[in-house]
Amino acid sequence: MGSAVESESLVKRYPKATTNAVDGVSFAVPAGEVFGLLGPNGAGKTTTVGMLTTRVRPTGGRATVGGVDVVTNPVDARRQFAVVPQRSNLDRSLSIRNNLLFHAAYHGVPAHDARRRADELLDQFGLLDRGDTKPDFFSGGQAQRVMIARALMHEPSVMFLDEPSTGLDPAARLFVWDRLRELTNRGVTLLLTTHDMHEAATLADRVGIMDHGRLLALDTPEALLHTLPGSATLELTTTALEPPAARELLAALTDLAPVERAEELPAVPDVSGAAQFRARLYLTGDAPSLVAPVATLLAERRIALRDIGLGSPTLEDVFIHLTGRALR
C-alpha cells in the first residue's frame, strides 16, 4: 500500500515574490502516522499544506493524498482528506448540527448515516447540548472541537490540522489531543502543522522541521534529539559576570569531562531586577554527576550559584541547532 500523503519536490513561488515560499519539499507519510511539520511562522508549513489540500497551486513538483494526485485530480483528492484550520471557518448561518450535516451532504454521505454520525460525534466531542446553537459565540476551543467533528463527518483517511491547539486553554488542549489520539487508533493519518515543539513532540510519530520553505530534518522526535551534540543538558544561573570572567567560566566548564559544548543564554534579571549570568551545558554523559564538579568550579572562582537545572534537550534545541535561531 502506498503512502497516505506524498510530497515530491513541491515548490511554490507566489507572483512577485523573490524567493520560493516552499522550496523543494519532499516527504512521505505512511497510513496511520501522525506527522508534524514544525517551524516558525512563515516557514512554509501552511503553504505546503495548502498545496496538499488543493487550495494552493504548486509551481513545481507533485503530491498525492490517499494516492490521488492533488493537482491533476483535485476533486477526487478532496474525498480523501479533511482540513481543520486554525481559525474558525464554521458556517455561521447554520447551527452546529447543520454544519456537520451539510458538510456530510457536500461529500455525498447519505442523510440517514449523516444524522447518526452527527449525533455520535456531537456526543463524543461534548457538544450534544449545543447542537442547535449557531457558532457565533463559540470560544476558540469549542469551535476547534466542532471543526474536528465536522471534518470526521465524511470519514476522511487523512486529516490536516493547522496549529491544532494554539490559543486553547490547557484543558481544551488536552481534550483535543485525546481526540486526535483516538483518531490515530482508528487508523486516520494526521498531518499537523505547529510552531509548538511540545505539541509536535507529544503528538507526532515523526516530525519534519521546516524553515525558509525547506525541510531541514525529518525523523522521530527521539532520533532528532539524538542529532544534537549533547543528549542531556545542565542549565545554571549565577550572579552577574563581566564578559572576560564569563568567557573564562564557559571555557572552564567546557573542559569538564562530559561537557560537549557550553553556551551563554540570554540574561534574565532576578526578581529584584539584578543582572544574572546564565549558561547551558550540552552533555554527552549523565547530568546529575556533573552538579558537584560545577559547584566546585564556581566556588573556586567565588561566583555565587543562584539556580541549577537538569534537562533533556527539546525539539526547540534541535531547531536552534539546525537554524541558529529560536523557533519564535
- Give the footprint of another protein on this chain (CB under 8 A): 14, 50, 53-57, 74-76, 78-79, 82-83, 85, 87, 89-94, 98-99, 102-103, 105-108, 150
Tell me whether residue 85 or residue 221 sits nearer to another protein (CB atom): 85
In whole angstroms, what is the distance from residue 20 CA to residue 13 CA?
4
Spell out a b/e string for 11-38, using b for 16 or more CB atoms within 10 Å of the CB, else e: bbbeeeeeebbbbebebebeebbbbbbb
Tell me whether residue 98 or residue 202 sits nearer to another protein (CB atom): 98
**Rounded to the nearest whole angstrom, what is the least distance from the CB of residue 80 to another protein in the complex?**
9
Q: 192 with 37: CB under 8 angstroms?
A: yes
Tell me whether residue 109 or residue 122 sits nearer to another protein (CB atom): 109
**Rounded to the nearest whole angstrom, what is the least distance from the CB of residue 57 to another protein in the complex?**
5
Torsional sign, CA 68, 72, 78, 84: positive
**Rounded to the nearest whole angstrom, what is the least distance from the CB of residue 51 to another protein in the complex?**
9
Tell me whether residue 56 or residue 318 sits nearer to another protein (CB atom): 56
**Rounded to the nearest whole angstrom, what is the least distance from the CB of residue 264 to another protein in the complex?**
43
Residue where the block lists cell 449525533: 119
Tell me whether residue 160 or residue 282 sits nearer to another protein (CB atom): 160
**Rounded to the nearest whole angstrom, what is the least distance from the CB of residue 189 to another protein in the complex?**
17
- DSSP secondary structure of 192-238: EEES-HHHHHHH-SEEEEEETTEEEEEE-HHHHHHTSS-SEEEEEEE
**Rounded to the nearest whole angstrom, what is the least distance from the CB of residue 58 to another protein in the complex?**
10
Strands (E), the chain: 5-12, 22-29, 34-38, 60-65, 68-69, 81-84, 158-162, 189-194, 206-211, 214-219, 232-239, 259-265, 276-283, 305-311
In whole angstroms, what is the distance from residue 28 CA to residue 30 CA?
6
- Please return the burial class of 168, using the count of CB atoms within 10 Å of its CB with bins 0-12, 13-18 and 19+: buried
- Angle (CA) 165-55-94 rounded to 5° is 65
What residues pair up with 218 in beta bridges, in sequence order?
208
Tell me whether residue 15 or residue 288 sits nearer to another protein (CB atom): 15
**Rounded to the nearest whole angstrom, what is the least distance from the CB of residue 232 to another protein in the complex?**
44
**Rounded to the nearest whole angstrom, what is the least distance from the CB of residue 52 to another protein in the complex?**
12
Tell me whether residue 152 or residue 234 sits nearer to another protein (CB atom): 152
**Rounded to the nearest whole angstrom, what is the least distance from the CB of residue 59 to another protein in the complex?**
11
Per DSSP, the three-state class of 50 is: helix
Tell me whether residue 59 or residue 202 sits nearer to another protein (CB atom): 59
Cβ neighbours of residue 168 closer than 8 Å, sequence gap 6 or more:
140, 141, 144, 176
In whole angstroms, what is the distance from residue 25 CA to residue 293 CA?
46
Tell me whether residue 79 or residue 212 sits nearer to another protein (CB atom): 79
